[in-house]
A = this chain, B = another copy of it.
């Protein structure tokens, strides 16, 4: 976790203190269930809850014990026993450390998902608000970085809304998949515990019981989870890239908010740089880098090996923490984005009416010209605009072959911006359910 790119809620979620608290809850709920099942005395379960919930676990003390045992869960249990006393022997009965560790990770990933869902919703709200605000703000659409045909900035934002909405759906599915509880004991056979204990603890923690585990919760769940984050990160990158493009000096159709006191460059005081969206581009790469190791973690040996653990100590906090940060940074960028409709219009006018080339092409074919000929006619006039400037319409009017097929009035009527925006309402209906 890079502190600079982690919000406090995530920092706390992945802290040692939170981890130990979750471990305790798992053990205490398990004790409760075991008491119900008659595996351990009721009094013991009560003592465990009472003494444990008042305990202030010491990270240092646990690390000290771990230095000898080389086993983190045993170290914690030993420390817990220092609070619970004699009844501590009834803690962890029939369980194995994977039960605790994997269920803890499930709790953390579920909670992290909730934070991420909040972030996604903030991004979506910002996108929707700005989309409606700019529903009819005309701008040129660009394919290959080249002016194509007009669209509106609202439509552009709507494409992102739809994309983040899909991301949210996938995130929720991934959250559901990851939120399982396994308390099945060594090699997952429940030999020294009972399936009922697992069911009980799962419910208490808001998880679902893992149908079958090999001692560990199967890592295809985690692979799918981090992949879902990776796709969202890629969408963050797409939106960040869009804004970086729009802020280019020559384009300048939108820009990140530049706060009072902000400095763009140590050398050049004139600079206003899209540093937030560039930063988001990099964060997207970081989040995505969790995907492959998460997939490499799937093929554990036999009933379990512990190779996944060090990977998850890295990617668990990092991928969720950085994506969470990125979502809020992104939402802020959208919320405060400066939009320059007049520059949009200026850029739109730049290409001398070329953006209507398709409409002329189609009109020619409708008038009986073959597609190949029509293409040739339109292209030869368009190239004059590229080469010598001037307005496309003027060249067309001087082209006899064109004018044989189309009359002037018809031709001029085609150069109408409204033609390109007539379906914006339909698009908004599809995306937002309203327009």
B218 touches A97 (CB 8 A): no
Identify which of residues 232-246 in chain A touch chain B, using a CB-to-CB cut-off of 8 Å: 233-235, 237-238, 240-242, 244-245
- Choose from B86, B90, B265, B297 the contact partner of A285 (Cβ within 8 Å): B297
List B contacts of A206 (CB < 8 A). Answer: none
Interface residue A91 (Cβ < 8 Å from any Cβ of B)? yes
Question: A52 on the interface (CB 8 Å rule)?
Answer: no
Interfacial chain B residues near A419, Cβ < 8 Å: 191
> When the two chains form their complex, are residues B81 and A372 in contact, meaning their CB atoms are under 8 A apart?
yes
Are A310 and B296 within 8 A (Cβ)? no
Least CB distance from A82 to B in Å reads 10
Are B267 and A186 neighbours in the complex by a CB distance under 8 Å?
yes
Q: Are A289 and B293 in contact (CB under 8 A)?
A: yes
Q: A259 within 8 Å of B by Cβ?
A: yes
Task: Kindly state whether residue A311 has any CB partner on chain B within 8 Å.
Answer: yes
Which B residues are CB-close (under 8 A) to A290? 289
In angstroms, Cα B302 to Cα A408, docked, is: 34
How long is the Cα–Cα vector from A186 to B93 in the complex, in angstroms?
Answer: 50
Docked-complex contact A362 and B251, CB < 8 angstroms: no
- Residue on B with the closest CB to A354? B270
Residues B279 and A306 in contact, CB atoms below 8 Å apart: yes
Docked Cα-Cα span, A81 to B228, in Å, equals 44
Point out the residues of chain B lying under 8 angstroms from A296, CB to CB.
234, 285, 296
Question: Shortest beta-carbon distance, A138 to chain B, in Å?
Answer: 11
Q: Are A278 and B306 in contact (CB under 8 A)?
A: yes
A279-292 vs B, CB cutoff 8 Å, 1 = contact: the mask equals 10111111011111
Contact of A268 among B92, B149, B151, B289 (CB under 8 A): B149
Contacts of A265 in B (CB 8 A): 71, 96-97, 143, 148, 186
Set of chain B residues within 8 Å of A71, measured between Cβ atoms = 262-266
The residue from B69, B73, B224, B273 contacting A261, defined by CB atoms under 8 A apart: B69
Q: Enumerate chain B residues within 8 angstroms of A223, measured Cβ to Cβ.
A: 230-231, 234
Rounded to whole Å, the gap between the CB of A351 and the closest CB of chain B is: 6
> Is A70 interfacial (CB 8 A cutoff)?
yes
Contact between B159 and A218 (Cβ–Cβ < 8 Å)? yes
- Asked if A192 lies at the interface with its beta carbon under 8 angstroms from chain B, I say yes
Beta-carbon contacts under 8 Å, A276-322 to B: 278-279, 281-286, 288-293, 295-311, 313-315, 318, 322
Query: A250 touches which one: B163, B313, B350, B358 (CB < 8 A)?
Result: B350
Q: How far is the CA of A146 from the CA of B247 in the complex (A)?
A: 8
Q: Which residues of B contact A73 (CB under 8 A)?
A: 266
Interface: A336 (CB within 8 A): no
Contact A370 B86 (CB under 8 A): yes
Residues 19-56 of chain A: 1 if any B CB is under 8 Å from the residue's CB, otherwise 0? 00000000000000000000000000000000000000
Q: Does A177 contact B (CB under 8 A)?
A: yes
B365 touches A90 (CB 8 A): yes
Q: Is the CB of A278 within 8 A of B144?
A: yes
Binds B, one of A113-121, A122-130, A207-215: A207-215
Distance of A187 Cα from B231 Cα, bound (Å): 23
B231 and A295 contacting across the interface, CB-CB below 8 Å: yes
Interface residues of A in 397-429 (CB under 8 A from B): 419-424, 426-427
Quick one: which of B89, B159, B215, B303 contacts A370, CB cutoff 8 A? Answer: B89
A-B contact pairs, 21 of them (CB 8 A): A4-B313, A70-B263, A81-B371, A89-B370, A96-B268, A141-B186, A143-B273, A144-B273, A144-B274, A145-B274, A192-B362, A212-B430, A223-B230, A231-B295, A242-B302, A248-B250, A250-B347, A267-B361, A269-B357, A269-B375, A291-B292
